Amino acid sequence: MRIQKKCLHCEQELTGRTDKKYCDQYCKSAQQYKQSKESPLRFYNKVDNQLKLNRKLLKVHNRAGKAVIRSTTLLDLGFNPNFFTHYWKNNKGEIYLFVYEYGFLSKKENGKEKYVLVTWQDYMEN
């Protein structure tokens, strides 16, 4: 006595083992890919991906160790200032937000929103 089932991907009738779920390796792979695309991305993956993008953009635009750039330049490339790993407050009370070793400070100069980009320095640990 054989239990007849259908393939979970293409819904063709299965032959062979009674516990078989897919008709071949292609259907198994295609179904798993479909499920991974439909399942929502986990929260920590979204955070990690945004932090990686932020770090990459800060690194690319701050090759000299300190730079000033219009905020729209970074924002248009996908930079999100709400994602950072830590912060540092200088003697003037300005708060630099850091994504790992690359930091930024939001400033308004001549009516334009800008970011002052810096890299982490040893003196900032105190």
For 18-54, b/e burial (b = at least 16 CB within 10 A) is eeeebbeeebeeebeeeeeeeeeeeeeeeeeebbebb
Helical ranges in the chain per DSSP H: 25-38, 43-61, 71-76
Domain residues of the chain, as ranges?
Answer: 1-39, 43-125
Quote the pLDDT of residue 125. Answer: 83
Q: Are 79 and 62 in contact (CB under 8 A)?
A: no
Percent of the chain with pLDDT over 90: 68
Closest CA to 58 of 44, 69, 47, 46: 69
Residue 3 has pLDDT above 80, yes or no: no
Rounded CA-CA distance 22/11 in Å is 9
pLDDT of res. 34: 86
pLDDT at 1: 41
